[in-house]
Structure 1
Amino acid sequence: VDAAKLAGIPRGGFPRNIILIIGDGMGQGAINFASLHAHGAPGRLSFEQFPVRGLARTASADSRVTDSAASGTALACGRKTNNGMIGMTPDRKKCRSVAELARATGRAVGVMTSDQLTGATPAAFLAHVPSRKMAQEIAADMASSGVQALIGAGARPFLPEKSGGVRKDGRDLIAELHAAGYVQAVTPAALRQLPADRPVFGFVEDWSNPELLAGFATVLCDRLGRDPEGFFLMVEGCDPDRGGHSNDPDRSAHGVLSVDFLARAALDYALAHPDTLVVVTADHETGGISAAPNRENPRRPFIAYSAKGHTGNAVDIFAFGPGADRFRGVLENTDIPKIFAELFRFRLDQP
């Protein structure tokens, strides 16, 4: 990726499409480590070539160290909430997300993750529950959201117990999705073959291929981009968080590089469709990672973990496309969806 070329592309105006990429737990140390591992030098990842870079603070309403539920809600709704809460304020008032408002204003919307579809980050964009543990309720909110794409892992909260699921209310949400016109795909190739005018869902249990998120995103952008009003797409890569929690260098590198493949696919779409804004960030940092070059073997950098949980460190924001300059400087994570709303010319719920 030619950073100088990207820097020369105009960043004014308003985007028709917004692609938000969230690397779960993807802090600055993990990014540095992945670049050293993949390229033998820092600052070489695709999204690091984006012309705009900022920082986001991540504290939740009740803790300096956020969890993914509170940070997901901040990134989706522009509101700080308590750890564990999804799409709600600390006093349990529902707050509509940028994804829900994009859908309400006629845009196509997609939510995709390599984690459980009912996981905290994707849930924050479409669900409203007091606890991230309420997977059955989250699944019901997602199934009734009316968005054009739902792709992730973990079908069991969508199925009744008699069908191998965990739902105690007997509802088969997958059957309900089919009845609502959704069609299913579990590979990018299968997704490409589906009718372009049908909403889609998919439960993909094996995300070990680091290019799989990118493959799905390429097809989803083409599908969602057919909407004359434009689209909003949120994609989460979950493995940086898992690498940080387990202090596993291989998984830390794999997780960041899968996000980088994804960012490159989004960038390619944005270069072909200049009315598209791409933003890459993280919900929080995990593992307290620091990395340093290894002169004897540049592709085997040194890495140190100082924690097995989340930290309160600020996380990077990388932006390309119309409106990208709005993401410079030090922001609160809640500022990100507020800027999206302004660029889409609607208003998020206010306190």
Structure 2
Amino acid sequence: MVLVVGDGMGPAHREAARLALAGTDGELAMGSLPVAGLQTTIPADPSSTVTDSAAAATAWATGEKTANGSLAVGPDGERLTPLGREAAEAGLATGLVTTSAVTDATPAAFFSSVADREDQDDVAEQYLTAAGPSVVLGGGAGVWDDGLLDRARADGATAVTDADRLASAEGDRLLGLFAEGPLHAAPDPEVSLAELTRVALDRLSADPDGFFLVVEEEQVDEAGHANDDDALLTAMASLDEAVEVAREHAEDHPGTLLVVTGDHETGGLAVEDADPGADDAIPVAGDDDRAVDLDWSTESHTAAPTPVTATGPGSEQLSGTYPNTHLHEVMREVLLG
């Protein structure tokens, strides 16, 4: 199964990208999936009704709501077992791909349990245990000191830092770190999210027992925080290219559940009409007479529900409206029965 996450992606982010990239009659790859639903995202946090990525990903990974900042740790401090580790312990191949640091909140919640999402050294340590992910691709090399890299290699992992070595890497375990910080912030990244997704799928799907892959485009969230129209559309294009890779894989392997969603909405985005000649107007693809303006109302997260689209086994359970913990229930049933 493949979970693809647009960090910070709400309904308006998807519609803005659809209009700018595909036009009024077109569709994104993520929108072409046959099942659609809507999930609420409120955390179990005494001081907030708006989630962060850590609490949202914990809801997906464990089926339990928690306080902001916690990764697979309950609101009373109890350590929870996240789905990625459950899958690995059951013999499935597991992996993560992200344009953020590989130890950042969304992927980390599926493979580690830490009280504070900033403890990324602890996250990396937990990746190197037997139930850690076998394929790890993204940014965040700055977290991985020589000791951690030596441990990864001693555990049989091939560690790579460039596209050429990625293409020739061998072995069951792969650690690819392509930027010191977030991959999307690198000035000229050698690898795209779609390329990394393809590599991960090729490796993980070879396991006869099945696989679980988490794919994240982090820049959607960063663009929302910055209220940056251009960065948002760049990130959404990157995300949808990765979704297309996953969609083609699911089409060729009908037993694959593919889910595309956002952990929360960022920016309070609205899509409005604009004068096609205005400086900040975004042209509607294939239409010279229409344009839109992206109107941001905040630089923070909001409590807006996020859309879910899906295909494959179990996807029919993802129609309608439900809390984000429901996604855990569906994924776990498909992966572990």
Give the structure-1-normalised TM-score. Answer: 0.86
Q: Which ranges of structure 1 fall in alignment gaps of 5 or more residues?
A: 1-17, 164-171, 347-351
2:174 counterpart residue number: 200
1:308 aligns with 2:295: no
Is residue 29 of structure 1 aligned with residue 12 of structure 2?
yes
Q: What is the aligned counterpart of 2:217 among 230, 237, 240? A: 237
8 Å Cα contact 2:50/2:302 also seen in 1? yes
Deviation at 1:188, TM superposition (A): 5.5
SS in 1 for 2:257: strand
Matched, 1:216 2:203: no
C-alpha displacement of 1:302: 1.0
Pairing 1:1-351 to 2, within 5 Å after superposition: 18-41=1-24, 44-62=27-45, 63-144=48-129, 145-159=131-145, 172-187=147-162, 190-195=165-170, 197-205=171-179, 206-207=183-184, 212-294=192-274, 296=276, 297-299=283-285, 300-346=291-337
RMSD (CA atoms): 1.8
Tell me, in whole angstroms, the C-alpha distance in 1 between the residues paired with 2:140 and 2:16: 30
Seen in structure 2, the aligned counterparts of structure 1 residues 187 and 269 have a Cα distance that, compared at 3 Å, is farther
1:11 maps to what in 2?
A: none
Cα shift at 1:128? 1.1
Amino acid at match of 2:237: L
Distance 2:11 2:151 in 1: 41
Kindly state the Cα deviation for residue 88 of structure 1 after the two structures are TM-superposed: 0.5
The structure-2 alpha-carbon separation of the partners of 1:179 and 1:325, relative to structure 1 and needing over 3 Å to count, comes to same
* Aligned-residue offset at 1:267: 0.5
Shift of 1:100: 0.8
Query: In structure 2, how many angstroms separate the alpha carbons of the residues matched to 1:289 and 1:42?
Result: 22
CA distance in 2, matches of 1:276, 1:100: 19
Q: Offset at 1:43? A: 6.1
What secondary structure, in the 3-state scheme, does the structure 1 residue paired with 2:207 have?
coil
Q: Residues 43 and 24 from structure 1, CA distance in 2 versus in 1: closer, same or farther, beyond 3 angstroms?
A: farther
CA-CA distance at 1:331 after TM superposition: 1.4
CA distance in 1, matches of 2:178, 2:264: 25
Moved more, 291-300 or 28-37: 291-300
Task: Check the 8 A contact 1:69/1:86 in 2, yes or no.
Answer: yes
131-140 or 327-336: which moved more? 131-140
Q: 1:24 to 1:295 in 2, by over 3 A?
A: same
Q: What TM-score do you get using the length of structure 2 for normalisation?
A: 0.89
Distance 1:261 1:211 in 2: 13
Q: Is the 8 A contact 2:162 2:190 kept in 1?
A: no
Which moves more between the two structures, 292-301 or 107-116?
292-301
Q: C-alpha offsets along residues 42-93 of structure 1, whole Å, 9 cap, x if unaligned? A: 7621110110000010010012100111011111111100011111101111
Distance 2:57 2:273 in 1: 32
Residues 89-98 or 39-48, more deviating: 39-48
Aligned length: 317
Q: Secondary structure at the match of 1:128?
A: coil
Asked if the contact 2:84/2:110 (under 8 Å) is kept, the reply is: yes
SS in 1 for 2:236: helix
Cα displacement (A) at 1:186? 3.7
Flag structure 2 segments of 5+ consecutive residues without an equivalent: 277-282, 286-290
8 Å contact from structure 1 (residues 77, 87) kept in 2: yes
Identity of aligned residues (%): 34
For residue 235 of structure 2, give the secondary structure of its aligned residue in structure 1: helix
Per-residue deviation, 1:263: 0.5
Please give the alpha-carbon distance, in whole angstroms, between the structure 1 residues aligned to 2:117 and 2:125.
13
1:191 deviation in Å? 2.8
Contact 2:87 2:336 in 1 (8 A): no
* CA separation of 1:117 and 1:345: change in aligned 2, threshold 3 A: closer
